[in-house]
Chain A
Amino acid sequence: MYVAVKGGEAAIANAHQLLADRRRGARSIPALTVAQIGEQLGLAVDRVMAEASLYDRALAALSIKQARGDMIEAIFLLRAYRTTLPRFGYSDPVDTGAMEIERRISATYKDLPGGQLLGPTFDYTHRLLDPSLLEDAAVAAPVRRECGGEAVGRVSDILGDEGLIEPDSREPLDKVPGDITREPMDFPLSRDERLQALARGDEGFLLALAYSTQRGYARTHPFAGEIRIGLVEVEIELPELGFSVSLGEIRVTECQSVNQFKGSATEPPQFTRGYGLVFGQSERKAMAMALVDRALRAEEFGEDIVAPAQDEEFVIAHSDNVQATGFVEHLKLPHYVDFQAELDLVRRMRAEQQDPSTASREAAE
């Protein structure tokens, strides 16, 4: 018989003290500051902000430190923190066309207004470990090129002007978007709700799904029409003043994929699109998001739904890594009673199987 017990308080307290010790590591090594994480592990900070769905560099850096670098734990911490704050309202939609560009590339046009701006990229590095980083060697200041800033036009506008690509979206511009943090998700979702879920989705999960579409599980044949990274202004309307004021800037990454065309009786063939927008500098995630967004539009285009990446409920219900880790990791919590019940059941089944009288009776039946 199983008897409910309690205990473990001392063990838990000691485990947390041990965690704090291990997090600090050898005391002979200087403690990592949150400012160092923010400045030197900036892309980790970006990932935590994106998947926690909370833009705050300082708090994201703190969560990384507290989580000992465990990214999903850090995301969990930041997600939990956001539940303690009141919601002031919704911003005006950010204008990525007016972005202060830090990187912009297109794989579809070599020459385009604004040019190919590589920015601080890992692309074209040789992926060789750099021993100079073992020391705090001086780093040269970046090269500057002063030139009158040419406007950085959108690739989608180049194609759109000729009608060769579908418009940004098919819904009215003033449609009020759904908010999955306020209303429970009800499948099928609208595209705006899907994009909200994808924007906070796990990078690894979306990357794998995007990869699967390239390998033939739902072919959408994408081009990276445009990727842009930079700062956009966040504005919010203040009801007490009756106009919008700026709150500051955030860094975002946007990916516009250009996908294979589709025509119908009423529409001439034209390229279709996927869209990715992610907090911080996160090109891989933005690209994966755009590919998955396009794959999830299968029904809209009358495409056969044959692959996981096209299955909205499968993708969206499993894309949130805080939910996923909660359910997977809950298995390690005590399940003593459940297990006792199953153990008992297995014992009885074995006993019945080994008892010749029950075996012959079952055979007769």
Chain B
Amino acid sequence: MNQKQAAPAAPVTDRARRMSLLARATRQELAACLEAGPKMADVHPVRGPQTGLVMIRGRIGGGGNAFNLGEATVTRASIRLASGVIGHGQRLGTDQEATRLSAILDALAEEGDEAGLCRTLLQAIERRLAEEAGQRDAETQATRVDFFTLVRGDD
């Protein structure tokens, strides 16, 4: 059976959800969002952006003990705003600029996001992801086999 992590505390969930969505944002989405906001003169890099590897694990039989499946490229970045608030960004792949921008948005949200920049962006990303997933699912469902029983010829 699948192991489920214990449910984390609420504020952690919020940040985890935000960082997960930012990891899926395109560079264009992130850049457009930040352009609309105040000038970002005071962004200090704390770490990275840096590209490295994460070893992805699976579970034997789907739910047994873990094994190492193979690695993936991952890029991460941490930045500090003038206020001292630190933001983290991380995503699969090698896009360092997108990762840096997502770290800035993470920090802005941690600061309180008074302009609502991050909130609006997260909603937009969530909507896009849901639409894309819905479309993929509908395409897959169209390939579902509907079995029917043949009528016997012998009465």
Name the A residues within 8 Å of B51 (CB-CB). 85
Q: Given A168-B64, A192-B65, A248-B23: A243 and B56 within 8 A (CB)? A: no
C-alpha gap A96/B139 in the complex (Å): 20
Contact of B143 among A118, A244, A247 (CB under 8 A): A118
Q: Please determine whether A144 and B142 come into contact, CB atoms closer than 8 angstroms.
A: yes
C-alpha gap A151/B71 in the complex (Å): 29
Q: Please determine whether B140 and A236 come into contact, CB atoms closer than 8 angstroms.
A: no
Q: Please determine whether B52 and A87 come into contact, CB atoms closer than 8 angstroms.
A: yes
C-alpha gap A243/B2 in the complex (Å): 19
Q: Which residue of A lies closest to B24 (CB)?
A: A248
B-side interface residues toward A, CB under 8 Å? 1-3, 5, 8, 12, 15-16, 19-20, 23-24, 50-74, 76, 78, 88, 90-94, 133, 135-145, 147
Which residues, 53 to 111 on A, are CB-close (under 8 Å) to B?
Answer: 53-56, 58-59, 82, 85-98, 100-103, 110-111
Q: Which residue of B lies closest to A174 (CB)?
A: B65
C-alpha gap A87/B92 in the complex (Å): 13
C-alpha gap A168/B19 in the complex (Å): 32
Q: Please determine whether B60 and A168 come into contact, CB atoms closer than 8 angstroms.
A: yes
- Sample of 29 A–B contacts (CB below 8 Å): A54-B71, A56-B92, A56-B93, A88-B54, A89-B54, A90-B55, A90-B57, A92-B57, A95-B2, A96-B58, A97-B2, A98-B2, A103-B140, A115-B144, A144-B139, A145-B142, A171-B64, A177-B68, A179-B68, A181-B55, A191-B60, A199-B69, A234-B56, A236-B74, A240-B88, A243-B16, A248-B93, A249-B92, A250-B92
Q: Please determine whether A117 and B65 come into contact, CB atoms closer than 8 angstroms.
A: no
Name the B residues within 8 Å of A176 (CB-CB). 66
Name the A residues within 8 Å of B62 (CB-CB). 96-97, 154, 156, 168, 254, 256, 275
Q: Which residue of B lies closest to A230 (CB)?
A: B140
| A233-268 contact mask (Cβ, 8 Å, vs B): 1 or 0 | 010101011111111111010101000000000000
C-alpha gap A92/B52 in the complex (Å): 17
Q: Which residue of A lies closest to B70 (CB)?
A: A53
Instruction: Give me the 7 closest cross-chain CB pairs, A-B, nearest first.
Output: A169-B64, A168-B61, A168-B64, A246-B20, A144-B138, A192-B67, A55-B72
Q: Please determine whether B69 and A277 come into contact, CB atoms closer than 8 angstroms.
A: yes
C-alpha gap A169/B64 in the complex (Å): 5
Which residues, 285 to 341 on A, are CB-close (under 8 Å) to B?
Answer: none
Q: Please determine whether B72 and A234 come into contact, CB atoms closer than 8 angstroms.
A: yes
C-alpha gap A115/B137 in the complex (Å): 13
Nearest-neighbour CB distance to chain A for B110, whole angstroms, equals 11
The tally of CB-CB contacts under 8 A between chains A and B is: 242
Q: How many residues of chain A are within 8 Å of chain B by beta carbon?
A: 89
Q: Please determine whether B65 and A175 come into contact, CB atoms closer than 8 angstroms.
A: yes
Q: Please determine whether B74 and A247 come into contact, CB atoms closer than 8 angstroms.
A: yes
Interface presence of A363 (CB below 8 A): no
C-alpha gap A121/B140 in the complex (Å): 11
Nearest-neighbour CB distance to chain A for B47, whole angstroms, equals 9
| A130-143 contact mask (Cβ, 8 Å, vs B): 1 or 0 | 00000000000011
Q: Which of B1, B53, B71, B145 has the most CB of A within 10 A?
A: B71
Nearest-neighbour CB distance to chain B for A80, whole angstroms, equals 13
Interface presence of A173 (CB below 8 A): yes
Nearest-neighbour CB distance to chain B for A238, whole angstroms, equals 7
Name the A residues within 8 Å of B58 (CB-CB). 93-94, 96, 195, 252, 277
